[in-house]
Amino acid sequence: MRTRGRKGRRVERVASLIREVVSEELVSGLNDPRMALVTVTGVDVAADMRFADVRVSILGEEKAQEACFRAIRHAHGRVQERVADALVMKFCPVLRFHLDPSVKRNIEMSRLIAQARAEDEAARADRIRRGVEPPPAETSADEAGPPETDDETLEEEETDRPEATDAEDPA
């Protein structure tokens, strides 16, 4: 018994194949200068396999994104034909392209997090400098690993050793 709302394996395989074909066609199959930084983020195929919603993410400025999306819509027929050639089915799902802002949102969120971390580190360094907050605790000898030797210690060890002379060497 199949659970309601869950798509079958066949629908998932068709969606995966459509994603591969559309990605390949958009990235290398079309020689359109408007196509740049396009990623197929997902494909949702209807349960009856009549329609496939293709989500694409386009990086860049707003005007460049609009031009690229117009190029994708303009190439719809060619991409649809490539998908039909790749699928071994009586009917090919009709492709519908949608702009997916999730990748752009994720990049912006990562930038904001990095900015907040940098500001937090700067504020913490300032608090430590002013003496409001103690500096980070030193790690114990067990956590620190082997002790580091400095150049002065090495020089003292070398001067304490007697130097071998050629006369003492029996060989």
- What's the whole-number mean pLDDT along residues 69-84? 91
Q: pLDDT-derived band of residue 118, with 50, 70 and 90 as boundaries? A: very high
Spatial CB neighbours of 47, under 8 Å, sequence gap ≥ 6: 7, 11
**Is 77 in contact with 44 (CB distance < 8 Å)?**
no
Q: pLDDT-derived band of residue 1, with 50, 70 and 90 as boundaries? A: very low
- What's the whole-number mean pLDDT along residues 94-113? 87
- CATH match for 9-100 among 3.30.300.20, 3.90.1150.10, 3.30.750.24, 1.10.10.10: 3.30.300.20
Residue 168 has pLDDT above 60, yes or no: no
Helix (H, G, I), strand (E, B) or coil at 66: helix
0.85 exceeded by pTM: no
pLDDT of residue 6: 61
pLDDT of residue 53: 95
pLDDT digits (tens, 9 = 90+) for 18-74: 999 998 888 887 777 778 788 899 999 998 989 999 999 888 888 888 888 999 999
Q: How far apart are CA 124 and CA 132, in angstroms?
A: 9
What is the helix (H) or strand (E) element at residue 9, kind and residue range? Answer: helix 9-24
Q: How far apart are CA 158 and CA 152, in angstroms?
A: 10
DSSP bridge pairs for 55: 42, 98
Number of H helices, E strands in the chain: 6, 3
* Domain spans in the chain, listed from the N-terminal domain onward: 9-100, 101-135
